[in-house]
Structure 1
Amino acid sequence: MTEVYSPDSALLDSKVRDIESDATTNDRIGPYIRRNDRQVRETPKSQLRTRRKWESEKRRIRARVRLDPQEVRAWQLERVRALVDGAFTAIPFYRELYAAVGFEPGDIVTWSDFEQLPVVNKRMIVDAGMSPPTAAGDARRTVHSARTSGSSGLNLTIYQDNASVDHRAVLNMRHCELALGSELRPQDWRYQVYFAAERITSLLGDYPYVTLAQECPTELLTEHLEQLRPRIVFAFPSYLQRLVERDVALDAFGVEAVITNSERSSPQEREKYTRVLRVPVVDEYSSEEFSLIAYECRQRRYHLVEDSAYLEVAQPDDSGFGHMVGTSLGNAFMPFIRYDQGDVVRLAPPGASCGCGSRFRTIDAFRGREDETLRDGPGRAVPSDAVLGLCDRTLVVQESNVLQYQLVQTAPDRVQLRLRLSDPARRGEDNALLDAFVRELPSLFLHERVHVDVVHVDAFETFASGKRRLIFAEGAWTRAAGTAPRTAPEAVR
């Protein structure tokens, strides 16, 4: 008789803790709590698997940030060897690409061997239709997916298996501990303001993780924080700015650290947030392709997350700036190998020490992720988290037929939505998601009466680095004839 595999049969009969309901402290906050409604739902089995991974690996991954850099490099090389050989064997895109340069499995012995492999980018992956072989047809394997445009505006679906999801989850927990300066406790709430809930909202009820919509009014959020008392908060810089304007002291609600993400903010802004909010505010540099790329320590240095991705700087110029080329170390299912996501960075000299104790390499300076905002009258900007949230709900959705987009404010009252469609033959069809974007974007402007023009283009504006500009205002403006700024009564939402 064949036994059915079960890591713990008693636990499989239990229910997943409903974190969203537990976090719904009143009827007013309820509509703003993001529910984990992903296609692949979390289960007691998946939570048990992730918890066991955390319990078995937490000492090792905590210690890794202080390892000798040569030990880290040796570990990365072993990981990269297995990743490249596996990609060549399983994924036609990489097999064709690498075979064209004479690669065979086993050829990577040193880093110089690895550096001979071609650099790839999102355009190549989208054009090739790269996906894991199991994504389309193997129903026996759990496949997770994430749709992203990143800062390029070029839409891509990224697939992950359970191992990749678990890897991200445990590194996220260490990431919280590095920001806090101490270990996470099972009862500690993690709290984020974001577009979507986390895949894993607890580990069998412990380490709860709740997500609030960025549209939540600040007075409701602060009331919720007082009731829930999370230890750590993730938020957009533009949302923190709203809290700063209300002079909110987060330490009064039990918060010990804040991590910013998704939008660029300056060290000066984060220092201001730290003073006003009365908790350390540090930044996170991440992407869907690589997950965590770098984290800012309390010494204001960006440390690469060396066990999440291996990062190179390709063809640096005389000042050391070059394109960041990365290899994801946690996703062997749909690997990104020597992948250029468009950011331009400069690394600090090797061997530089940091007062935080981490020995992971550091990014000295960025030229990517420039500020991207739409202007709402003189000296004002539309909150970028609100704009990106609208894009995420409409333009990034696969059914929108949008392959790539760009928002360009050409005048105080005019915004162009520049598009390339996934299927140009469907250009004349009704598109409810596109119509919703055109209808809703003007409502984000409080001081300008804005009209949105949809323009189909073949090329997009770029930064000097070559990275596409997703949201920006161009040139000197003149107001369109016959229009005027909104009056104060119309500016009230």
Structure 2
Amino acid sequence: MYRYPEDYALRSASELDLALSAVPAYRDWRAVDPGPQAPLDERCAALPLLNKAHLRAHGLEAFLAPGHALAEGLARGAIDTVSTSGTTDEQMVLTWNQAWWNASEAASWTLNRHAAQAGLADHAEALLTSPLSTGVPSPDGKPLAMLRRRLGRFLYLNEHLDSAAWPDTHIRRMVRELDAFRPVVLEGSPTLLARFARRSVELGLRCWQPRLIVTSYEFPSRVLLRQVRRAFDAPIMSSYGCTEAGCVLTQCEAGCFHQNAAFARVEFQPLAARFGKPGVGRIALTSFGNPWRVLLRFDVGDLVRLRPPETPCACGRTDGIVADAVEGRVNDVTFDARGQLVTVDELDRRASGVNDVLEYQVTQNATDSWTACAVCGRDGAIAELAAALGDLYGGRVAVALVAAIPAEVSGKHRLARCAASFSEAMFEGPMRAP
């Protein structure tokens, strides 16, 4: 069993009781609750999972804790509203409690030695993402002045929707702005960080070196991160979370992902045994202490690979679950010729074994039909990638050379697509705290 903070069970039960007794969105869940006399895990396992469709259907006010009113919170600036960028689902509007998010983020920094030593608090931070994820989009596609992209301690480096079309002038401008702003942290999506790093190296430009690079918004592909390391010497930390639930898992200096147990309860449901992937499953999240959005058992749509509790992480941290990897989106799994499930992490491990593959995406259109497109840095890499993917899937994979992998409508990039991925039958057993 994993170890949890002393107040973890109490906080979990308190959020459950609050949601079922006083939060309108969970009114219908009361009928299936075994009651407070039942063990906590039994009560949670009897309840449905929350998803984005439910969030949309109920609306913002239905998730407020008692004594909180949406109009009043917006009027006095306690909250704002934001649109999530999604990945595979459509965008949605959520309440945003900046103070709660800041506290969740600060707690997550303690789970990585490099972040803890950087003295993060009111630090300067540069962000490199699609403006659909966060930042200031250009309304007419023209460059925006640096002052228009400054917000407090943050500098948003990119205002353009298509990072594949960045001209050299934009790369040079971002290099100049990093040198002028001198951020302690550079945070971004792996795709945009890799494209910026690759282009800056090609142009012979030396970038300002932050204390820490944080990847979020997308799967942290090894293919992309090795390009980031060509331009930056700073340690790279992957931060896993979502707009709905805050900062949930943080990659430590030893490479494992640790639960931010002060701010989130994590439940786990394993993949069906027929897939032969013990420890891999999906997770559901319950937030602690956010009165402006009481979030209970939210199915975030991602897979993780748990580290066995009897094998502690080398970093020495022991509170909460520990994952060896975030395996990627449930909707992005593919299947080999035998019907065995292939996670994004497994796919990326295989693709990263081919040097000079710079970007790639695999599409599965049928049970025995796979295609891929890739950006490569040398002749021969396409054939090597096709061979590696063919070995992974047990069938021929045709790989096409392209100039860039296009983004989704969300502005994010996916490594895999499958016409029919998700099914409840992929999982077995109850969703419960591991």
The TM-score bracket by the shorter chain reads 0.5 to 0.7
The alpha-carbon deviation at position 69 of structure 1 amounts to 5.4
CA distance in 1 between partners of 2:90 and 2:191 (Å): 23
Task: Report if the CA contact (8 A) 2:106-2:121 is conserved.
Answer: no
1:341-356 equivalences under 5 Å are 341-356=300-315
The alpha-carbon deviation at position 184 of structure 1 amounts to 1.4
Aligned match for 1:212, one of 151, 154, 157: 157
The residue identity in structure 2 corresponding to 1:218 is I
Task: Report if the CA contact (8 A) 1:342-1:466 is conserved.
Answer: no
CA distance in 1 between partners of 2:153 and 2:118 (Å): 15
Task: Report if the CA contact (8 A) 1:251-1:279 is conserved.
Answer: no
Task: Report if the CA contact (8 A) 1:326-1:338 is conserved.
Answer: yes
CA shift in 2, pair 1:341/1:168, >3 Å: same
Q: Which residue pairs with 1:90 in the alignment?
A: 22
Determine if the alignment matches structure 1 residue 244 to structure 2 residue 198.
Answer: yes
Aligned match for 1:233, one of 168, 183, 186: 186
CA distance in 1 between partners of 2:118 and 2:261 (Å): 20
- The two structures have a TM-score, normalised by structure 2, of 0.63
Task: Report if the CA contact (8 A) 1:190-1:233 is conserved.
Answer: yes
Q: Which residue pairs with 1:148 in the alignment?
A: 84
The alpha-carbon deviation at position 231 of structure 1 amounts to 1.7
Q: Which residue pairs with 1:323 in the alignment?
A: 282
CA distance in 2 between partners of 1:322 and 1:330 (Å): 26
The residue identity in structure 2 corresponding to 1:213 is N
Which has the bigger relative contact order, CA under 8 A and spacing at least 6?
2
CA shift in 2, pair 1:103/1:92, >3 Å: farther
Q: Which residue pairs with 1:368 in the alignment?
A: 328
Q: Which residue pairs with 1:283 in the alignment?
A: 238
The alpha-carbon deviation at position 292 of structure 1 amounts to 1.5
CA RMSD of aligned residues (A): 4.0
CA distance in 2 between partners of 1:186 and 1:101 (Å): 43
CA distance in 1 between partners of 2:307 and 2:46 (Å): 24
Task: Report if the CA contact (8 A) 1:294-1:305 is conserved.
Answer: yes
* Structure number with bigger Rg: 1
1:257-276 equivalences under 5 Å are 257-267=212-222, 269-276=224-231
The residue identity in structure 1 corresponding to 2:225 is R
1:114-125 equivalences under 5 Å are 114-125=44-55
Q: Which residue pairs with 2:3 in the alignment?
A: 70
Task: Report if the CA contact (8 A) 2:217-2:412 is conserved.
Answer: no
Task: Report if the CA contact (8 A) 1:321-1:346 is conserved.
Answer: yes
CA shift in 2, pair 1:239/1:389, >3 Å: same
Percent of residue pairs identical: 20
CA distance in 1 between partners of 2:182 and 2:315 (Å): 27
Determine if the alignment matches structure 1 residue 132 to structure 2 residue 63.
Answer: yes
SS in 2 for 1:79: helix
Q: Which residue pairs with 2:176 in the alignment?
A: 223
The alpha-carbon deviation at position 182 of structure 1 amounts to 0.5
SS in 2 for 1:335: coil
The residue identity in structure 2 corresponding to 1:209 is F
Q: Which residue pairs with 2:144 in the alignment?
A: none
The alpha-carbon deviation at position 189 of structure 1 amounts to 1.6
Determine if the alignment matches structure 1 residue 380 to structure 2 residue 410.
Answer: no
Aligned length: 325
Task: Report if the CA contact (8 A) 2:312-2:318 is conserved.
Answer: yes
Task: Report if the CA contact (8 A) 2:171-2:199 is conserved.
Answer: no
Which digits, 9 at most, give the CA deviation of each residue in 1:258-279, with x for residues without a partner? 1111122323542453244222
1:444-463 equivalences under 5 Å are 461-463=419-421
The residue identity in structure 2 corresponding to 1:313 is F
Aligned match for 2:106, one of 170, 176, 184: 170
The alpha-carbon deviation at position 236 of structure 1 amounts to 1.6
The residue identity in structure 2 corresponding to 1:379 is L
Determine if the alignment matches structure 1 residue 100 to structure 2 residue 31.
Answer: yes
For structure 1, list consecutive stretches of 5 or more residues without a partner in the other structure.
Answer: 1-67, 199-206, 392-405, 410-459, 468-493
Aligned match for 1:306, one of 248, 255, 261: 261
Task: Report if the CA contact (8 A) 1:214-1:386 is conserved.
Answer: no
Task: Report if the CA contact (8 A) 1:259-1:281 is conserved.
Answer: yes
CA distance in 1 between partners of 2:374 and 2:120 (Å): 43
Task: Report if the CA contact (8 A) 1:234-1:258 is conserved.
Answer: yes
Q: Which residue pairs with 1:12 in the alignment?
A: none
Task: Report if the CA contact (8 A) 2:269-2:281 is conserved.
Answer: yes
SS in 2 for 1:345: strand
CA distance in 2 between partners of 1:284 and 1:157 (Å): 22
SS in 2 for 1:155: coil
